[in-house]
Structure 1
Amino acid sequence: MKKIEIYDPAMCCDTGVCGPTVDPELTKLATAIYSLNKKGYPVTRYNLANDPAAFAENEVVNGVLHDKGPDALPIVLVDGEVYKIGEYPSNDEFSVWFNIDENDLTIKNPKVRLDINVTTQEGN
């Protein structure tokens, strides 16, 4: 099974929902990684603001940053080798790496809906 590591630029969160605007790419990425992790697929993200040691300790990532600077982020490693620089993987790429259906990377709404009627009694 492939091991995916994503080295993010410094951010306050990895979902893209904090701050004044929402980054739909980060939200989609976070959803895909959540789904993959729940199914046991190894995808790890490192945020420069929160995990600077991960950047310094990884010789491959450290080398890319020395050559290209922080604009190279995000850096995506597949089995320890650079696969992408400056952009995040797509759901299609995740599905190829792990040999799964791309539809398995989205959170699905429940198929059954419940109707709940709430009534109150007056005088209690």
Structure 2
Amino acid sequence: MKLEFFEMTMCCSTGICGPSVDERLIKLQENIEYLKKNYEGLEIERYQPQTHSMKFMTNREVFALMKEKKKEALPITVLDKKLIKQGEYPTLEELEKAIRGE
């Protein structure tokens, strides 16, 4: 099972660098650590356009959303090539429901 986050360009994924702390990124990182500990075999990847442009172009749904909505589509969350959420990060509850197939 593979969980992918397609995100905006940022200086770091933790949310604790730059001029202000981004609480959404801190919560996302906490959720990722929780998922890694509780869902054996779950692969989690995070992509940004400046370093993973091919990932954005080769996922048809992500590419279409980016073409239509530009940066407003981000972040985009995909589980096993199925769109979970766009425009904001999913909550831990939403992630767990998707992983469990609910």
8 A contact 1:11–1:48 mirrored in 2: no
CA distance in 1, matches of 2:55, 2:24: 23
8 A contact 1:7–1:47 mirrored in 2: yes
- Cα 1:98/1:58, change in 2 over 3 Å: closer
Partner of 2:14: 15
CA distance in 2, matches of 1:28, 1:4: 16
Q: Return 5+ residue gaps in structure 2 as ranges.
A: none
Aligned structure 1 segments of 4 or more residues deviating by more than 3 angstroms: none
**Normalization by structure 1: what TM-score?**
0.70
Partner of 1:5: 4
**Normalization by structure 2: what TM-score?**
0.83
Give the aligned CA root-mean-square deviation in angstroms: 1.7
Q: How does 1:23-62 map to 2 (within 5 A)?
A: 23-38=22-37, 39-62=40-63
SS in 2 for 1:18: coil
Partner of 1:72: 73
* Greater helix share, structure number: 2
CA distance in 1, matches of 2:84, 2:35: 18
Q: How many residues align?
A: 98
Percent of aligned pairs with the same amino acid: 37
Q: Please report how far the alpha carbon of residue 72 of structure 1 lies from its aligned counterpart in structure 2 after TM superposition.
A: 0.8
SS in 1 for 2:84: strand
SS in 1 for 2:63: helix
SS in 1 for 2:62: helix
